Structure 1
Amino acid sequence: MTNTDQQEFWTEEAGPTWIAQMQTMDRTLAPVLDRLLADAELRDGDSVLDVGCGAGTSTVAAARLTGPQGRACGLDISRSLLDHARAALADAPNVSFVLGDAQTHDFGQDRFDAMISRFGVMFFSDTVAAFSNIARGLRPGARLTFATWGEISENPYFTMPARVAKSIIGAPPKTDPDAPGPFAMRDTRKVVGQLGAAGLRDITASEVALPLTPPGDAQTVADLLCQIGPAHRTLTHFDVGQEDRQRLRAALADALAPYETPQGIRIPALINIFTARTAGGA
């Protein structure tokens, strides 16, 4: 999928779906954003670039950490997500949004002290070119911090729905995990090499075990899994009727039983957290 294809996909298909599930997904991914921002070490007065900002949750969170003298700019390829962000967050202080492809966007004279991304950098057609371009929008010595999904086998949020949907409905065509998509940056050694090739320095990669925290009971989470992710892809590919949809929903709810805790559903995840700096600076 080219970057043009990604723009169309995230504007016409994935964007509206994400907006519909935004509150639930933000709660589900809250531990990831919390860890990302902790590792980003944002300071009062920082200007922050949020790449692949989506509907702006991470952008606003970053702006809060930089105080009244700081600012956060969200950059995304999806017009529908940014339209929602601008409308919903019009009164958020020190927050702005730009429609653009981080791989090719002309940052002009704008320069940022830091770059963050929560699952927004796995979709580039050319990762080295993308980070080289992002670096041109950052000040010398600026810190980059971003989160990606880790190894596929360590992320049951994806593997469990895919397995259950296959057993109930069938298997959709396989996708290439190395192509732009959720798991394109699961190999930390490969990504570290790409960041180095982009001219970045002080590169670190950490594999972090975190819980995903979707709200609601097993039935509620099963509904979510039918609307986003591998189970949704299977439902869409086979264009199934209501009866099979209900069978899948019930099977997903049963499969969530191992993840039920007194605090609610907790799905283990392996998240890669990368940090780096641009050349120059102290």
Structure 2
Amino acid sequence: MNSQQAAAWNGYEGRHWADHQARYDALNDGANTPLLDAAAITPADRVLDIGFGNGRTTRLAAGRAAYALGIDLSAPMLERARASAAAECLDQVEFVRGDAQVYGFEEAAFDVAVSRLGIMFFADPVEGFGNIGRALRPGGRLAFVCPQEFGRMDQSTVFAAIGEHVRLSDLSHSTGPGPQAFADPGHTRRVLADAGFDDVAVEGV
């Protein structure tokens, strides 16, 4: 159970993301097309979106699929996601609040699972991916986007400049929960293999 993440995303962080939906969509929208193209969603697919945030990727996936379900820990962002789907008149999309690491998904209910920056906070990633795998039908697909090594990201230039004026957290590579959890492709492959996935491909974007 990701209790620390639940506290954060139902507190200030979750409210801030919900209140600034357009800002965060603009920040992260560059990952949408690579993610959804990698997922190879078809009009007949049922899609599971892990850590949907304000629901942007779930709604986009629903536009390509027969149905999309988003799951996230955050009550403020759940409210925002549902309101956005209603405004877009999407009836093939649903959102639930829960921890994807332990949530009781119906087994083999989905063809594809996707996540844009939502899987890197699992307290136990093998358990989390294993739970997602059980929700996929045999031969189902998983595609996710996560940060690569910090030094290779554009944001590192910004953080370096900020770091001259204020003390920042250590942003070096770590396999613990956080933005760098899956920066190492070898670690990513091992975690997914231990969770029961095969034919894993890692591609820089």
Which amino acid letter does the alignment assign opposite residue 74 of structure 2? S
User: How well do the aligned residues superpose, as a CA RMSD in angstroms?
Assistant: 1.6
SS of the residue corresponding to residue 58 of structure 1 reads helix
Q: CA deviation at 1:176?
A: 6.8
Q: Contact 2:108–2:138 (CA<8 Å) still a contact in 1?
A: no
The corresponding residue for 1:117 is 115
SS of the residue corresponding to residue 192 of structure 2 reads helix
Deviations along 1:242-265, whole A, 9 cap, x unmatched? xxxxxxxxxxxxxxxxxxxxxxxx
The corresponding residue for 1:133 is 131
Measured in 2, the distance between the counterparts of 1:51 and 1:78 equals 12
Summarize the alignment of residues 8-87 of structure 1 with structure 2, pairs less than 5 Å apart: 8-66=7-65, 70-87=66-83
Which amino acid letter does the alignment assign opposite residue 129 of structure 1? E
Question: Structure 2-normalised TM-score?
Answer: 0.92
The corresponding residue for 1:89 is 85
Which amino acid letter does the alignment assign opposite residue 43 of structure 2? D
Q: CA deviation at 1:71?
A: 0.3
Structure 1 stretches of 4+ moved >4 Å:
none
The corresponding residue for 2:188 is 191
The corresponding residue for 2:143 is 145
Query: Greater Rg, structure 1 or structure 2?
Result: 1
Measured in 2, the distance between the counterparts of 1:44 and 1:144 equals 17
Measured in 2, the distance between the counterparts of 1:75 and 1:165 equals 34
Question: Structure 1-normalised TM-score?
Answer: 0.68
Deviations along 1:29-69, whole A, 9 cap, x unmatched? 22211111111110012100000111100000000011xxx
Measured in 2, the distance between the counterparts of 1:140 and 1:173 equals 41
Measured in 2, the distance between the counterparts of 1:44 and 1:173 equals 43
Which amino acid letter does the alignment assign opposite residue 200 of structure 2? I
Bigger mean CA deviation after superposition, 103-112 or 48-57: 103-112
Q: CA deviation at 1:73?
A: 0.3
Q: CA deviation at 1:162?
A: 2.4
- Taking a change above 3 Å as real, the CA distance of residues 176 and 10 of structure 1, as seen in their structure-2 partners, is farther
Q: CA deviation at 1:120?
A: 0.6
Structure 1 unaligned spans of 5+: 209-282
Q: CA deviation at 1:173?
A: 4.7
Which amino acid letter does the alignment assign opposite residue 35 of structure 2? L
Measured in 1, the distance between the counterparts of 2:197 and 2:169 equals 37
Q: CA deviation at 1:81?
A: 0.8
More relative contact order, 1 or 2 (CA 8 Å, 6+ apart): 1
Aligned-pair identity (%): 34
Deviations along 1:189-246, whole A, 9 cap, x unmatched? 11001100001111111122xxxxxxxxxxxxxxxxxxxxxxxxxxxxxxxxxxxxxx
Which amino acid letter does the alignment assign opposite residue 81 of structure 1? M
Measured in 2, the distance between the counterparts of 1:38 and 1:83 equals 27
Bigger mean CA deviation after superposition, 132-141 or 84-93: 84-93
Q: CA deviation at 1:164?
A: 2.2
